[in-house]
Structure 1
Amino acid sequence: MKKTVFILLLLPLFAFSVHKYYLALTEIEYDAKNKSVQMIMNVFMDDFELAINKDFNLNLELASNKEPKNVDEHFFKYLKQHFKVKINNKENSYRFIGKEYDGNIIFFYLEIDDVNEVKSIEIQNDILVLHFPDQQNLVKAKINNKRKSLFLDKKNDKGLLNF
């Protein structure tokens, strides 16, 4: 459902161009029952592919029959370098659950386990900004029924949300 809403809202913006807008969305939610922070990040596939190919000197050819079987390893390596999360002032490692392609968008599923409570989340996100200076990374968080958001970009790639 979230994917559909996101696509329906953003699709008209990109319909008449080869998407000269550079925006990635990360949604963060705390699951108190499972004591985990769940994150869904979506980025434009062509931009992400270009960044990884340049940074790691690869030729991934995503969503084709030439896509390497270990592509998730490259994705996770890139994400770990460019997307960092601190919960309650403590840096946390997240697990790469998987990815999903939907048209020209990649959805990444990430999770942090063993989180007893969330008082604050600090995000550092410079996904794609090296190769696309106009890149903006929107972060939306829902923690204990409170919603907050951040806009991060090349000049300001770090933000703090208190709950």
Structure 2
Amino acid sequence: MNRRFFIFVVLNILSLSLQAKWRTHPFYVSVCTLEWNAKTRALEISCRIFYDDLEEALRKEGYAHDDILQPRNKAKLHQGLAAYLQQNFRIKVDNQIREVQFLGYQIEEDAAWCYMEVNDVEKVTSLGILNSILYQQHTGQTNIIHATVLGKRQSTKLQAPKNTAVFQY
């Protein structure tokens, strides 16, 4: 009986360690897409971020202490995500700092899609973007940005510590 118990314990420990290994990923990257919608006069933003890294950042920086996949308090998690993103993702439209409104998020596989918006954007001739998402957690963090205005798409890759990009249209 003791031998079976020992084998059972060893197999469970091995299983847990493999699960922990599979949960991690070998690279740290987020992808943010911005598109100016001339009809609604809004800058629509979506950011794809590994949800486990985002959850760790929210906890470490004191924005939220909840499970992103199954939050106990969705309103508090929403506030924490909004505060974290407002701190680490900022936009200037034509050299004017604009308020970025957090709309919500959804989980897809291993990523959290975070949705934001900048309203009342009459025209866009330049975009200045600060993106330091997850820089405090991972020194090797890379943030990719794709920005589209009137069908013209421009992209860049920011690697910590570089956290700003400017696009001209």
TM-superposed deviation, 1:17: 7.7
How far apart are the structure 1 equivalents of 2:146 and 2:117? 15
How far apart are the structure 2 equivalents of 1:100 and 1:132? 23
Determine which of 77, 102, 108 is the counterpart of 1:102: 108
**Corresponding position of 2:73:** 68
Contact 1:126 1:153 in 2 (8 A): no
Aligned-partner SS, 1:59: coil
How far apart are the structure 2 equivalents of 1:35 and 1:17? 40
CA RMSD, 1 decimal:
1.5
TM-superposed deviation, 1:104: 1.7
How far apart are the structure 2 equivalents of 1:18 and 1:39? 26
Q: What code does the residue aligned with 2:141 have?
A: Q
Aligned: 1:92 with 2:133: no
Contact 1:27 1:41 in 2 (8 A): yes
Note the alpha carbon deviations across 1:12-69, whole angstroms, 9 max, x for none. Answer: xxxx8831110100000010011110000110000000011010075312212x5322
Aligned: 1:142 with 2:148: yes
TM-superposed deviation, 1:150: 1.4
Determine which of 26, 31, 34 is the counterpart of 2:37: 31
How far apart are the structure 2 equivalents of 1:61 and 1:103? 15
Unaligned runs of 5+ residues in structure 1 are 1-15
The 5 A counterparts of 1:40-55 are 40-55=46-61
TM-superposed deviation, 1:96: 1.2
Q: Whose helix fraction is larger, Structure 1's or Structure 2's?
A: 2
**Corresponding position of 1:160:** 166
Identity of aligned residues (%): 25
Aligned: 1:128 with 2:146: no
How high is the TM-score relative to the length of structure 2?
Answer: 0.82
How far apart are the structure 1 equivalents of 2:72 and 2:48? 19
> Number of aligned pairs?
147
Note the alpha carbon deviations across 1:73-129, whole angstroms, 9 max, x for none. Answer: 000000011111001000000111111111221011111111110000011111001
How far apart are the structure 2 equivalents of 1:151 and 1:57? 26
**Corresponding position of 2:26:** 20
Contact 2:64 2:80 in 1 (8 A): no
